[in-house]
Amino acid sequence: MTSSPDYAAYIASLPRVLAGAAVLFRDGEGRVLLVEPSYREGWALPGGTVESDDGETPRQGARRETAEELGLDRELGRLLTVDWVQGAGRPPVVAYLYDGGVLSEDEFKAIRLQEEELLSWRLVARDELREYLSDAHRGRVLAALDVLAAGSGTAELEDGRRVF
């Protein structure tokens, strides 16, 4: 079945939304693994843009990005948060955050940073996240930690603030 020119024009006229996916890794003390990107200021969770033009899903993108950035290729746990991030000067982003679980000491030792994108990594306690993350990113991480503590569910966010 071929698409009509009218349908192709309709699809081209639709609003554009980007997708990002990240992973929340923790240590046995509950500290969160953050990475320091080389291409922008501040800290972030491991992850990146979902390559949807290639048919990649958010879960696949999160796993791929984690393998590329940290050398950690492992099954991801459940979806913890979905965040609608309205940015100035760019299309909105739907940011998916997956549970990467608690890493062992050996897994932390095995981390190999992608030198083209990352400068360093560190473990940060919940009460220190304000020093490292923007309000929206911190809200996403805190909501994910709350979902994990509750044992079920997914948090819906808008710009890092819980909606539901």
Domains in the chain, start-ordered, CATH in brackets? 11-162 (3.90.79.10)
The single-letter code of the amino acid at 130 is R
The single-letter code of the amino acid at 112 is R
Sign (positive/negative) of CA torsion 127, 128, 134, 138?
negative
User: CB–CB of 25/105 below 8 Å?
Assistant: no
Q: How confident is the model at residue 53 (pLDDT cuts 50, 70, 90)?
A: confident
Q: Check pLDDT > 90 for residue 87.
A: no
What average pLDDT is seen over the chain?
A: 94
Q: How confident is the model at residue 153 (pLDDT cuts 50, 70, 90)?
A: very high
Q: What pTM does this model have?
A: 0.92
Q: How confident is the model at residue 1 (pLDDT cuts 50, 70, 90)?
A: low
Residue 64 CA from chain centroid, whole number: 12
Give the angle 18-150-28 at the CA atoms, nearest 5°: 85
